[in-house]
Each structure stands twice: as C-alpha cells, then as structure tokens.
A and B are shown apart, each in its own frame.
Chain A
Amino acid sequence: MGLLEGKVAIITGSGRGIGKAIAELFAQEGAAITVNDIDADVCAATAEELTNNGFKAIACQADVTNDEQVKKMVDDTVEAFGTVDILVNNAGITKDAMIHKMDDKLFDFILNVNLLGTMLCCKYVVPIMKEKQSGKIVNTSSTTGLVGNVGQSNYAAAKGGIVGFTKGLARELGLSKISVNAYGPGFIETRLTAVKAEGGDRSALGMPKGIHDVAIAAIPFGHAGQPEDVAKAALFFASPLSDFITGEVISVSGGQLV
C-alpha cells in the first residue's frame, strides 16, 4: 500500500519539471492527482500520461495568479475526486536581473507567480481542509529565499515570502490539524537551470554556462539535483511520515547551505 493511498492531491505547475516528478511519485504512492499548469498542452499531456499508466488524474489548466481560475481548479478537483487532501504549491518561475535594471513588471511577475499563486491556492483549499480537520500543504521555497542570490532580488523576495507565509499559515491552521511545510530546492536540473546556447536569445529560460558551472561547484555533492530528489521531500511532507511536523522549511540542495 502506498503512502498516499486514497488521497487527493493538487500539484500546481506539474505539467513538467519538478512538478511532474512530484505528480508521478504521488500517483505511484496511490494519490489521485490534479495536474495543473498554465500551459494547457503540457498539463493535458502529463495527466494523460498518468491515466495511461493506470493512475487517477485530471488536467486543470489554470494561471495560479488568477483568483477565479484557481477557484475553478479546486472546484473541479472536488467534483472529480470528492475532496482535497494535499496541496503542493510547486508552480514557480525565475527571471533574473540586477536590481537597478529590474522594472516593476519583472519584479511583480516573479513575486506574483511564486508568492501570490501560493497564497491563492491555499485560500481555496484551506476551507475544505478545515472542514475535514486534516490536510497537508507543501510549499516551495528555494535556497535563494533562504540565503539570497545575486540578480534574484525578485525571486528571493517571493521565496522568502513563502518562508514567512508557511510559518504563519502553520500557526493559523495548527488547531485544524493541517500541516504546512516547505522545501527549498537548491540547484535542480530543470529548464530554468539548463545551460543557455551561447549567443542565443537572452530572454530565454536557462542560465549562462559560466554561472551554471559556478553553481555546481558550490554543491558539496558535486552535482545538480534531479526533480525526483525534490519530489521525495514533497512526498515526506505530504505523507503520514511527517504527521507531527509543521512550519518547517528544509533545504533540498546537496548540502549547498551547510
């Protein structure tokens, strides 16, 4: 029997990358999955992949910064599976710039996708969990939110905000037996950390090779983490293994913060 047998999980940003790894692992552990992504195609493809493999899954395309779309995602989940037991706020994005070159639009975009998105998903899931007097909320912070990073003041604000929000929400929901924890991935191999082509589009996702290599060198394990490494931390916080743990933020970074 899996650790999440009979549970219903919403995993935001799970069309690809870390979110998809979490969806796959949770499904293998017995959970019914709401796959969410802003990109309808990858959202549908991941849900289809899960159902083709014999798991329960639905696709809910939604922009997590849109109040109405988030509400619909939660409503659709309840309609499909009857409830929500687990929320993993994984949807996130980076786009870096030194602070004097960053405009309001870029700052807000990163703050809103990462922080507002997390808060809105909690807004609609919390009443369901409070009624049941149980639930697991797993938020995604980052090593950048814990110790900062050059060129990422927007992302650090968002992910630092998630640390504060996680602890505040853990206290607010403690008496309702809802646990709220967060993990802070370090350098994980995804499209956000992939090496950019030299001379390519500067606005494309990814990072220059020099910065990529320096980041790897700072990890005691000597290599980047995989999405599956983060998924295991998410599983711990979503499962009964962490039943007496709330308000915690752990780093999943190969020792980067040691």
Chain B
Amino acid sequence: MNSQLERQVWFEETVALNDKAIIDSGFPWLEAMRTEAKESIRQLPIPNRKQEAWRYSRPEKLYEHAYFTPINPVTALDEDDIVSWVYPESESYHLVFANGFFVPGLSTLNLDKGKLHIGSLREALVTDPAAIANWFAQSQWHKSDIFTALNFALMNDGLYIYLPQDTRLDKPIEVAYLSFNLEQPVSAQLRSLLVLDAGAQASLIEHFISTGNSDYFASHVGELFLGQNAVLNHYRLQNESHQAHHLSRVSVRQHTASEYRSVNIAVGGAWSRADIQVRFTGPQATCDIEGVYTAGDEQYSDFHLDIQHDQPACRSRENFRGIIYGKGQAVFDGRILVAKDAQKTDALLTNKNLLLSEDAEVDTKPQLEIYADDVKCGHGTTVGRLDPDQIYYLRSRGITESVAQRMLSLGFAEQILEHTEDEQLHAAMARLISSQFAK
C-alpha cells in the first residue's frame, strides 16, 4: 500500500518525466487546455477508498512503476502483430495506433474527403482545426478526474472521426490500439473524438490489444457526439496483456432521437477499468450498452456506468454480465439519474455475475436516482454460481465436468453476445471470451 503522498508524487512525476515526449500541437488553445489539465493534476483528489467511485479497488501497483511516453512513433510493426481484426481489409476500414501514435503504414485508411474525416487526430488538427476546437474535451472530464487530466497532459495523438450530415459509411471502422513495452514500461495515452452530424450512421469497433505480456499503462479517453437521429454501433474489445493497467473513459453526448448501441468485452489487464458516461442533450434518444467481462487470477476488472437523463422521453438500457474465476475480482457500478424534467424516461439496468470459484469476488452496485414522477425505471443484479442440475445434465451425456462448466459459462455470456446479429463480430467476441478459460 502506498501513501497518499507517494501517489501524489507519482502523478506529478509521471507528468514531469514525460513532458519532453509530449509534442506541442502548435495550437495555443489546445496547449492552454493542456496546461490547465496539468494544473488539475496538482489539485484533484487522488483516488482513495473514501471516494465512492474508488471504494473497491485503486490501481495500487500502477503507482509502483514509472511509465514512459515513447518519443517516436513505432515503426517495427507488421500486419501479424494485429491478429484480432474482425473483418478483412476489404470489409472494413482499418486504423492502427501503437503506443500512443497513429501508424499510417498499417492503416488502410486515412480518409479526408471534404468534411468527412477518419484518421489521426494529430493530422486532423492541421487539416480541420476549427472542428476539433469545437468538440475536443467538451466533456470537461479532465477537470474532475485526475486520470483524464493525466491523459490530456500526456496524449500525443488519437482517433478522429467526423461524419457530415446523413453520411452512412459503407463499411465499419476497425481501430486497433496496440500497446507493448520498449526498454522501459510504456505509458500509452490516447484520445478519440467522434462526431456524427445529424442523421449520420457508423459502426466502430475498437480493439485494445498488446503484442506482449508486459506491464504497460494504457489509457484511453473517448468523446462521442451523436447529432439528431445519428446512429452509432460501438464495439469495444479490451484484450490487453494480463500484466497491464488499462483505463478507459467514454463520454457519450446524444442529441434528439439519436441511437447509441454498444457492446463492451473486457478480458485483459491485471487492472482494468472502464467508465462510460452518457448525457442526453435532446429528447427521445436511446442508448443500449451491453457487455461481458471476465476476471481470473491476478485480475481486477471494473465497469462504471453513469447515465444521466436530463431530457424527457429518452430510453436507456444497460445489460452486463461478468464471469469471475480463480482469484479474480470484478466491480460493476451502474448509476442512472433521472432529472426532474426528464418525464417519460424509460431506464433499465441489469447486471448478472457468475462466480466459478470460491475465491472469485464481485461487487455489484446499481444506483437509481429518480427526481421525475412519470418514469419507467428498474434495475436488477445477481451473483450466482453454475447450476448443479445443468452440470449434471451435461455430464450425464458424457461431457466432462470441466467442459460442462466451460459450455455453461460461455452460454451465460452468449445471452449478451446473441444480441449482435453480425456473425463475424459475434464469433470474434465469443472467441475472446472463450480464450480466457483453460480448455
């Protein structure tokens, strides 16, 4: 256990150590915000047990290492290092980021047609600075969360997607964020900024992966803006090294009648946490956020959802399942807030957990705060074990106990995955989960 002071020092040293590696964007507004973020790091509270959001686990081991931001983009990479594409190149747009930098050589697209843009944030700052200035860091998350502030202070690049009104991409966008250690433990701090103008539709698949099995620190802050009637299908497949620290922040802003659908798979990381925040900026928007997480020996996995209904007649669904085995530990925290004027809100939160061992642990905490009176809200959480009658049934057909457990555990996850109709994507997510259990 490290002291409060040691943690404070870690944050400030991490900024100081990496300061030289941070490339000046050349934009005074951005650098001013960065300075502001650095200032926040000195002032914001360090995660501690007294804060509700950090009650169950803090990334203690993170503070034991110094992590370094690579100065130059990685060049020694080839296609074989990214084994996780769902679709072949011909069926999706591929973008690769490695240790915090865009890798154009491995990306099959860096589109910049008129206003439409899919590619590197750094490059877009040059070609489309006004649009980025308009949207970037609008979530203001760096002012309240020290890790988001750290991400801002240390980020060099990221993903930028801008789809003008009524654009419908012909193919999904697949992005691989690759992290791995060099001579020293690496800090890979990335942003993504996605803006869908009114009526635009896109599918985005994000892979968080590694080529090795080392302890790096990958942090990702995503800001997604959905205009009126825009539709985003968002798949996040987190398969980091089992030694790594992974931290994700996803901020979603949804305008009138927009639809956000997302599936989050999290299987990697020694310590992994994803915070997903949804804010409605117009009525009749819907969000449907699902996920499956697994945690085994020496793994801690955490999801924090924060859905705020400030507008009337919006619909939100959160449905997550966890499989915890060995000495794994998981946390699920789901908060729904319905403001006074958000009448006709329809919100439902479900979290089910399967514990496969005596030592497995999960803390699940749904929170509903409702200030409107004409709403339909509900939540349900369960923590259970495999049903002995189901195991018996499978074994009575000649299937060994370990295979029976595996089939039933995958079946438990499948009840989330089956909502994804695309067979390739469905199969890719199922593979990711099944790869976590010894055969």
Are A and B physically bound partners?
Answer: no
